[in-house]
Every structure is written in structure tokens, then in C-alpha cells.
């Protein structure tokens, strides 16, 4: 019974996190599109901007996930931003809350059930 409660809390937390992230991203895009319209951009140009930003967000999504490739995407993102703003802060400085996966623990491999049974018999 307690595990079900903990599991439901985890699900609720992650749903809340995803909702907050989506609302924050949408709010930023909405504000940017309104600003661009005020600067004289037309509908087609703003839609192209929206599609382009979404593509970049998808391209660099891996930089925010604790995976083996996380640091590669963060470095690529830093390199692209440095081309635009030479003294731009690093990814770690811009997003101190994003924790790196780290390499101090070995990756756990899933073993087939048959291997586990065979190992039990030998001992």
C-alpha cells in the first residue's frame, strides 16, 4: 500500500514538472511573438520563428536530460551561443539546476533472467 502512494506522488510530481515546463516555454514564445509583432514582423515571419525555435528546442532537449550524451549537447549549445555572444555564460552557469549524469558510477546492465538463474545454480 505505501508503495502505491509513493508511486502516485512521483507521477504527480513529474506531471507537475512537465506542465510547468510546458507553460514556461509557451509563455516565453507567446511573449516573444507579441514583441516581434510590435517590432513590425508579419504573421509568416513570426510562424517561421516559432517553428524554428521549436526545432532548436527539440534538437537540444538531450542537453537537459541525464544521459551519456548530455555533455555533448551542452557543449554544442555553448558553441552555437558563443558564435552569437562571445562572452556568453556556459551551460552550467546558465542552468545550475541541471545536474550532470556523472561518470563515477558504472552503468548497470540489464541481465537476462536465464543468466541470473544459472549464476544461482553455480553457488
User: pLDDT at position 16, please?
Assistant: 85
- Mean pLDDT over residues 113-121, rounded? 62
For residue range 54-72, what is the model confidence (pLDDT) as tens digits? 999 999 999 988 888 999 9
For residue range 7-39, what is the model confidence (pLDDT) as tens digits? 888 888 888 888 888 898 899 999 999 999 999
- Indicate yes or no: pTM above 0.75: no
Distance CA 95, CA 80 (A): 16
What does the domain layout of the chain look like in residue ranges? 60-103
Amino acid at each position: 500500500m505505501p508503495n502505491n502512494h509513493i508511486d502516485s506522488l512521483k507521477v504527480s510530481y513529474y506531471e507537475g514538472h512537465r506542465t510547468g515546463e510546458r507553460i514556461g516555454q509557451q509563455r516565453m514564445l507567446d511573449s516573444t511573438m507579441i514583441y516581434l509583432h510590435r517590432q513590425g514582423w508579419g504573421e509568416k515571419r513570426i510562424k517561421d520563428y516559432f517553428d524554428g525555435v521549436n526545432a532548436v528546442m527539440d534538437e537540444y532537449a538531450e542537453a537537459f536530460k541525464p544521459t551519456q550524451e548530455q555533455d555533448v549537447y551542452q557543449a554544442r549549445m555553448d558553441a552555437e551561443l558563443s558564435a552569437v555572444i562571445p562572452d556568453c555564460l556556459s551551460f552550467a552557469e546558465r542552468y545550475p539546476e541541471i545536474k550532470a549524469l556523472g561518470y563515477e558510477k558504472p552503468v548497470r546492465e540489464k541481465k537476462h533472467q536465464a543468466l541470473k538463474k544459472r549464476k544461482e545454480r553455480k553457488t
